[in-house]
Amino acid sequence: MYKQLSMDDKGNVIYNQYFSNDILAVTPNGIKTKYIVDFGKYNIPDPKKYKDEFELISDINSSNKRYATFISNICDSEKYLSFAFITNPGLLCLCVYDKKLKTTDVYTIDDKKYSIAQIIPTESFAYILLADESGDYYMGKQQYTNKK
């Protein structure tokens, strides 16, 4: 099962499958793993040890441990990799990885009404889009300065 498709800075289609930390690229030579997102102690259990996705979801939901999953809205440029993800219990987060500085910034969306988020970083601004299921949205441009 896939979320939406995106494009990288070389024109390749990139996407992520549910319950996977791999960001895949469709190239003329086939599908390749382009990035592996490491959430550290927040990585979900290995999906291969479960009989199906429902058993994995049940395990995650019944756990007291916090997990990060459901990578979506991937934006891949020469300088940044950014995406949204969810942690249990349903916290929406945005991640920006600076490829040159090798730094990561993570932002939590505190307003629970939003279920869709995307961040597009540039050298000095980050464009942020938040939307809810009814179609209400917030779109803004925020000053963005990497911490390093």
What pLDDT shows up at residue 144?
Answer: 56
Can you name the residues that pair with 131 across neighbouring β-strands? Answer: 116, 137
| CA atoms of 127 and 24, how far apart (whole Å) | 24
Q: What percent of the chain has pLDDT over 90?
A: 28
Tell me the CB-side half-sphere exposure of residue 16, using CA atoms within 13 A. 22
**Sole residue written with tokens 């209400």:** 136
Beta strands in the chain (DSSP E): 6-7, 13-16, 22-27, 30-36, 68-76, 80-87, 91-98, 103-109, 116-121, 125-131, 137-143
Cα 73 to Cα 117: distance, rounded to the nearest angstrom:
7
Give pLDDT tens digits for 44-98: 988 889 999 899 989 888 888 889 988 988 989 888 999 999 887 778 889 999 9
Average per-residue pLDDT for the chain = 84
pLDDT band at 1 (very low <50, low <70, confident <90, very high): very low
Check pLDDT > 60 for residue 148: no
- Percent pLDDT > 70 in the chain is 91
Per-residue confidence at 33, pLDDT binned at 50, 70, 90? very high
Q: Which residues contact 46 (CB under 8 A, 6 or more apart)?
A: none
- Please count the other Cβ atoms lying within 10 Å of the Cβ belonging to residue 129: 16
Strands 68-76 and 30-36: unpaired
- The pTM of the full predicted model, rounded to 2 decimals, is 0.82
